Structures are given as structure tokens and as C-alpha cells.
Amino acid sequence: MTGSQGPKILLLTNSEFGEANVFLATSHAILQADPTVELHFATFGGLRESVAMVSQKIQATIPETKPIVFHKIHGLTMSESLRNAHPFPASFLAPPGFLNTIRAIRDTVQIFVPYSGPQLVQIFLSIVGIINTVNADLIVVNSLMTTGLTACCHLGVKFACLSPNSIKDFAASKQPWAAALWKFPALDAEKYLMVHTGAHLRTPVDLLHNRLAHLKILVSTLPELDFPLIIPENIIPCGPILKPHQCVSGSDLELGNWLALGSTIYVNLGSICQLTASRAIELAFALKTTLEVLRVQANSSRFQVLWKLKLVEDDSMPDSDDNIEAVLGDFIQDDLVRIAAWIEVEPSSILQSGHIACSVHHGGANSYNEAIKAGVPQVVLPQWTDCYDYAQRVELLGIGRLGSRKAKPHWSADELSKALLDVLISESSAAIKDKAIGLANLCDEKGNGADVAARVLLDECRNTVPLGSGTDKCSALARTGTTRSASGKII
């Protein structure tokens, strides 16, 4: 970075939207904050179009910005590898408890390192090649991306972490026995990586137990949105990092007009969650009960449901009275319930429409933050282990309910309908709504999370303190001899 030339930043992330969305949002904010930045975006091929859209949008408003340079990482994505060879761990689908938590800690490494040795090496070498080619002033790596963390530590480059997750995930007390459990299942891939590249495997657990001395970790939350914690100095709470959203009517005029007809219960269990027919029918019964009670008790107010539903492949609805159409038929006919496998409009746009009375979601970080930013009460149906944290946050902050306390990880129509009605029309509902709006106002006062992240990262580009200096326990520099020249070129 010399003279009038802007900084060069490389964003490095997995392509799954739950993780990539914070990078897409931050890339927009970086270019908006400093149009001289040369921004590179490295991920797997499926995200190319989304990156191009961000680039086009920012250039439409600030023509002098440079296009984002896309770099395709070669190899299997995390989700592809998990589908092909690593079924979702059973411990992630079971209710939390001491023994299951121990199992989940062991199983988590399957998610972070879902690759065989050769697959891991292919992705690692692809990332190393991109880092060498770009020669960025700063690399911003997904905190959940093992291959990216490994490459950055191995090469000794200057990097920061960006995470869609909470403060708690990085401020937890150190547990040596937990670290051992995390690493054990990945030993074969770890040994293969070492033999063929000389690199030491670095997983997200190293951000807790083996962290670089000066490494900054930017998180998509605020202290007020998390559990009470002592925040380590290297953790930077930015606030919810969300992509800029377009108004619903700008994307889908008909949907915008429909939402404006009444108060909507928005059901979206995330991009990964697929329901069996039986679970979908149970949820339909919960919605039916809720709508029937609201019709009687809601003082003539119109309540309606927008449900994004993904069924398990090859699991069709039964040809009987117990299918979704039969359960919700009258409400569907009256256009009070709309069900779709895919909704083109972004969740943030729907939630920010001003017409959403309650967000029903699976407890993902993005779903939680999107509802927080919109000031919308939440009912959480946790689908796997880490989702229970967000359900607990919702209840701790008084902005909603856990909808499956007794039936988790499934749900019952009776329990879920009671949770929905508690949020919508009980004596508690006004307080829940007020607290949700209060947190949205707080987020507005603190500033846009993506803008905060962009400012921190741009400042980091100007920071000359090498991130691997001092008591660096993570960097593999001393072991590999890899370093940077004075010009910044990796040698």
C-alpha cells in the first residue's frame, strides 16, 4: 500500500450462506467506506454470483470502486463433504445434556474438518496459491474455516477473523480436556496434511486455546445481545453484520402487498433444515391452533402465516386427512397461509417490512440477528446443539420463547402453539415486543455492524504490528521457516 494506492484486502470464507453472508455484507461496507480498496474474495464456486451482485450494487452507487476480484477455491465445500461422507452427528440432533455435550464436542471436529487427507490438502494448497497470488495487506478469514486458518497460520501472513457467531463462542473458559476431544477424530487428516505440506492443522478451537497474540476476532453481535461475559481484548463486537436489504415491494410487489394486509407469523427454519412430512404436519397443527385462537381473541386483527418449508427429499406428504393441505386448507384457501419451498425475497427484507409479528426460526446466528435488527419477537425451535444457545438468549433478553422445551429437538403442536400465543397476545406480549424494539434501537444507536467491521479492518490494514509477533502459539513460522520479505511477498 503506497502513495494513492488503496489497501489490498483478501476475504476468505466457506460458501455456506450462514457463514458467507457476513463476508458479503462486510465486502459491501469496506468498499463503501473506502472506494480505493482492492478487494479480493476467495471462496468456493457456488458463491460467485452473490459476490458479483455485491460488486455491481456498490459500483452502481459509487462508480469509482474497483470490481471485487473473485477467486475460486478448488475442492469440496463443507456441506458437500458432509453430505458425501460425514452424516450430521447424532449428538448435534439430541437435546443438550452433560453426556451429549461431551459427545458433541468430539463430533464438532467432523463439521470443521469434514475432509479426508487428500481432500484437505487440495483445499489447503488452493488457498495457499490464492494467498501467494493476491499478496494482500490483510486477509480476513472465516473463524469457522479450518483450511483458511491453517493456511494463514502456516504462511505467517497478517490476518484477522470475521465470525457470524457470538462473543461466548470465543470467550469460553479454556478446557484442556475439551481441546483433546476436538482434535482426536481428525488425526488421520491432520497427519496427512503434515506429511504432504508440512503444515500444522489449525481449527476454530485454536482461536480459544492456541491463539495468535495480536489476532483480532470480529463478531456479529453486541455485548447487550449475548450472555453476561468478560470480553477478551481481541474480541471486537461489531453488532449484527447483515447485508443491505431492499424493501419487500422492490423485490416482490405482490408479496409486499400481501404482508401489508395483516400481522404475519414468519416461519423459516434455515437453509439447512429439511423437515420430514410428520414434523411438518405437527408444525402445521401448531399454526392451525394458533390461527384459530387468534381469529377469536385478536379483536378482529388479521393474522397470517408465511412459511418457508423444505421437506426431506423423497419424503412426500401422505394421501390422507393428515397432510398440510388438509390441516391448513381453510386458511390457505382464504390466503391467510402461504407456504413455499423457496422465497426469493431476503429474510431481512421480510423482517424489516414492519408487518412481521413473530419470527419462528431454528436458532441460527443469522436468523437471531436478523430478527434482533428488525425488532421482531422470536420463537426458537433449536435444531442442533449450538442452536440452543440462541434460544436461551431469546428468553434471557425477554424477546421471545423457546417453542419446544419439552419436545426438543422436535416440537408438539400444543407446546408450540402456546409459545406463539404467549408471544402474540398474552399479558407478556407487549413487554416482549417492547424489549425487541428496544434492542433494535440499541443496534441502530451503536451503528451498522458491517460498517463497524469495515472500519476495524481498514484500521488493521494500517497497523504495522505483525500479528504473529510476541507469544504466538498458533503460528507455524518457527516450524516451517515460512516468512514475508520486506515488500510483503511470501518467500
Dihedral (Cα; 353, 356, 361, 363), 10-degree rounding? 70
**Quick one: 269 and 353 in the same domain?**
yes
Mean pLDDT estimate for the chain: 86
**Quick one: 233 and 253 in the same domain?**
no
Confirm whether 1 is domain-assigned.
no
Q: Yes or no: say if 324 and 284 are a contact pair by the CB < 8 Å rule.
A: yes
Calculate mean pLDDT across residues 112-133: 93
Task: List all residues 6 or more positions away from 99 whose beta carbon is below 8 Å from its beta carbon.
Answer: none
**Quick one: 433 and 469 in the same domain?**
no
Confirm whether 491 is domain-assigned.
no
pLDDT of residue 477: 35
**Quick one: 430 and 340 in the same domain?**
yes
Range of the domain at 185: 8-239+448-480
Confirm whether 488 is domain-assigned.
no
**Quick one: 52 and 177 in the same domain?**
yes
- pLDDT above 90 coverage of the chain, percent: 67
**Quick one: 154 and 278 in the same domain?**
no
**Quick one: 227 and 258 in the same domain?**
no
**Quick one: 175 and 277 in the same domain?**
no
pLDDT of 490 > 80? The answer is no
Give the cell for residue 491.
Answer: 518467500
- pLDDT confidence band for 319 (50 / 70 / 90): low
Domain of residue 13, CATH code: 3.40.50.2000
Give the cell for residue 38.
Answer: 482492492
Give the cell for residue 111.
Answer: 463439521
**Quick one: 317 and 227 in the same domain?**
no
Tell me the per-residue pLDDT of 69-106, one tens digit each, with 9 for 90 and over. 999 999 999 878 777 655 555 555 556 654 555 555 55
Worst-scoring range by mean pLDDT, 64-73, 158-167, 183-192, 476-485? 476-485
Please give the Cα distance from 142 to 472 (Å, whole number): 20
pLDDT of residue 357: 99
Task: Let me know the angle formed at the C-alpha of 235 by 229 and 238, rounded to the nearest 5 degrees.
Answer: 95
Calculate mean pLDDT across residues 195-217: 87
For 122, left (φ over 0), alpha (ψ -120 to 50), or beta? alpha
What is the count of structural domains for the chain?
A: 2
**Quick one: 455 and 404 in the same domain?**
no
Q: How many residues does the chain have?
A: 491
- pLDDT confidence band for 316 (50 / 70 / 90): low
Calculate mean pLDDT across residues 339-360: 97
H, E, C per residue of the chain: CCCCCCCEEEEECCCCHHHHHHHHHHHHHHHHHCCCCEEEEEECHHHHHHHHHHHHHHHHHCCCCCCCEEEECCCCCHHHHHHHHCCCCHHHHCCCCHHHHHHHHHHHHHHHCCCCHHHHHHHHHHHHHHHHHHCCCEEEEECCCHHHHHHHHHHCCCEEEEECCCCHHHHCCCCHHHHHHHHHHHHHHHHHHHHHHCCCCCCCCHHHHCCCCCCCEEECCCHHHCCCCCCCCCEEECCCCCCCCCCHHHHCHHHHHHHCCCEEEEEECCCCCCECHHHHHHHHHHHHHHHHHHHHHCCCCCEEEEEECCECCCCCCCCCCCCHHHHHHHHHHCCCEEEECCCCCCHHHHHCCCCEEEEEECCCHHHHHHHHHHCCCEEECCCCCCHHHHHHHHHHCCCEEECCCCCCCCCCHHHHHHHHHHHHHCCCHHHHHHHHHHHHHHHHHHCCHHHHHHHHHHHHHHCCCCCCCCCCCCCCHHHHCCCECCCCCEC
Give the cell for residue 260.
Answer: 401489508
**Quick one: 334 and 473 in the same domain?**
no
pLDDT of residue 365: 93
